[in-house]
Amino acid sequence: MSRLNQSVARVMHILDGADLGADYTAAELLTETAARRTLNLSDLSPQEQAALVAGRATNLIPSTTVLAEKIEAAQAAGRPFVVKYGIDPTSPDVHLGHAVPIVIAGRLQRMGHHVVFIIGDVTAKIGDPSGRSSERPPLSDEDIARNLRGYQQQVSPFIDFERANLRFNGEWLNKVTLPELVGVLARIPVSMSLQREDFRTRLAKGHGLSVAEFVYSVVMAWDSVAIHADVELGGVDQLLNLQMCRKVMEISDQAPEVVITTPLIEGTDGTGTKMSKSKGNYVGLTASPDDVYGRLMSIPDHLTEQYLQLLTEWTDDEIRVIAKRLEAGTAHPMAVKRILAGDLVAALHGLDAATSARAEFTARFSKRSFGDVHNLPVLVLKDHADDRIGALVRTLDFATSTSAVRRVAQQKGLRLICESEGSQQTIHLTEASVQQTLGDVVSAAGDLGGAKLYLKVGRKVARIKI
């Protein structure tokens, strides 16, 4: 029995009738599943490895069988099986949406394969046009340098860089000559780029489409040629780019890489849009343990299974047991969500941080006693009495805009909490309160009688010090 199967057997034993809401059950599960982040998977056969990867893929081109055969061939030749993942530093932050293919890259690394993590310092100057409705603003060298600081640290919870390579594609792209580029472009049909729906839409609407964007995927494909990639990972929105990589490798007389795409994970707001920093529905890899935990606890229940599948080391068999228990009513969705939140905090910050975040969340929301929470932001009334509620909420980074604060108020999520000796009184703030000052809102609450006062915005809380 493989090491992974042994771990699954232990988890299945825990899941068999245990109270998933109990702290001790969550601790047992978390200890087991968190350990899988570093579990050696090299005892799996090439066929088992390929099947495990395929189970989380949207596309696997040309096939799972070919992936297994390529792994076998590399082993027989005694050479590393090269796994490529690339990212352009168009933003300083990496979030859980980016992590979906990186999780699989880490899994392949633990199977004994060689991961090459490529940062596109040259391709970032073009900007990946995938899914865009307009040209991306050009980035300067300073922008790129600022953005790429910390990339390795941000993804290190999933990739062991002591056994992986971090490369910048400027190493080879800065050496490509014009005759080389023209020679490759001459063998690529224009139809490969024109089949892209995003390009056709932009052209039909008369929006800009630069030649640089048109050949972005060709330039990006040089990365695969430079490192002799066996397999490449990316989100499903990268499919056409990755197919171009296969084409350019063929032109360069190399065996084309296997392409693996992963689903685009839905954002935490549950609206159906993908996780994106611009939409504010993301979880950053540099977020604090409490913030990661709280953001994941805020996701709609229907996203829990998807997040377990795409962001954790839980297997399909284990997730099916959870789903059956939820359907049968022997597990509560909140309990499962807390297990998910703990798993991801453990991945990013360690087991101790996950345990603390769970306890902190319990104190803040389950017991509803904010006085037990020690890391709340504080608003000193005398300093902020004349500040409008909407502006204060944005300053606290509890919402991205005044309109977002209004939406929270419309959903009865904007509140003043008066807490005294364990009891609480809740005052719902209306949409009109967003434009009122903190001093007016507190005065309207009346005599507090020594009670502690808190401002609650959705699931986020700040203490008001009077």
Put simply, whether the predicted model's pTM sits higher than 0.75 gets the answer: yes
Statement: residue 310 has pLDDT above 70: yes
| Residue 401 banded pLDDT, cuts 50, 70, 90 | confident
What percent of the chain stands above pLDDT 90? 51
- The pLDDT assigned to 29 comes to 95
Work out the average pLDDT over 399-414: 85
Work out the average pLDDT over 253-268: 94
Q: Indicate the SS3 state at residue 420.
A: strand
Cα-Cα-Cα-Cα dihedral sign, residues 51, 57, 63, 67:
negative
- The pLDDT assigned to 8 comes to 95
- The pLDDT assigned to 367 comes to 53
**22 burial class (0-12, 13-18, 19+ CB within 10 angstroms)?**
exposed
Rounded distance between C-alpha atoms, residue 193 and residue 187, angstroms = 13
Q: What is the pLDDT of residues 15-38, one digit of tens each?
A: 998 899 888 999 999 999 999 999
- The pLDDT assigned to 379 comes to 87
Return the C-alpha torsion angle 21, 339, 27, 153, nearest 10.
Answer: -160
**295 burial class (0-12, 13-18, 19+ CB within 10 angstroms)?**
buried
Q: What is the pLDDT of residues 342-364, one digit of tens each?
A: 999 999 999 999 999 998 887 76
351-383 burial, b for 16+ CB within 10 Å, e for fewer?
Answer: bebbbbbbebbbbbbeeeebeebeebeebeeee
Statement: residue 41 has pLDDT above 80: yes
Q: What is the pLDDT of residues 59-86, one digit of tens each?
A: 999 999 999 999 999 999 999 999 999 9
Helices 23-35 and 3-15, axial angle in degrees (round to 10): 170
Statement: residue 152 has pLDDT above 90: no
The closest alpha carbon to 361, from 288, 272, 309, 303, belongs to 288
Cis before 157 (ω within 30): no
Q: Indicate the SS3 state at residue 437.
A: strand
Beta strands in 95-173 (DSSP E): 114-119, 165-168
Work out the average pLDDT over 305-314: 95
CATH number listed for the domain at residues 40-262: 3.40.50.620
Q: How many residues does the chain have?
A: 466
- The pLDDT assigned to 404 comes to 84
Q: Please, what CATH class does the domain formed by 1-36+290-367 belong to?
A: mainly alpha
Rounded distance between C-alpha atoms, residue 323 and residue 436, angstroms = 45
Rounded distance between C-alpha atoms, residue 66 and residue 328, angstroms = 40
The closest alpha carbon to 461, from 343, 363, 355, 384, belongs to 363
Work out the average pLDDT over 296-315: 93
- The pLDDT assigned to 366 comes to 55
Rounded distance between C-alpha atoms, residue 208 and residue 201, angstroms = 11
- The pLDDT assigned to 277 comes to 80
Mean of the per-residue pLDDT values of the chain = 88
- The pLDDT assigned to 130 comes to 57
Structure tokens at 270: 């549950």
Statement: residue 136 has pLDDT above 70: no
Same fold, 1-36+290-367 and 40-262: no
**Radius of gyration in angstroms for the set of CA atoms belonging to the chain, rounded to a whole number:** 25
- The domain locations on the chain are 1-36+290-367, 40-262, 378-465
Structure tokens at 248: 């350019």
Statement: residue 242 has pLDDT above 60: yes
Statement: residue 275 has pLDDT above 50: yes
Rounded distance between C-alpha atoms, residue 424 and residue 317, angstroms = 43
**Phi, psi of 413, rounded to the nearest 5 degrees:** -100, 0
Structure tokens at 134: 């307009």
Q: Which residue type is seen at 201?
A: T
Angle at 84 between CA 83 and CA 85, to 5 degrees: 130
Statement: residue 113 has pLDDT above 90: yes
Largest distance between two CA atoms of the chain: 81
Residue with the larger pLDDT of the pair 223 and 405: 223
Statement: residue 133 has pLDDT above 50: no
- The pLDDT assigned to 148 comes to 74
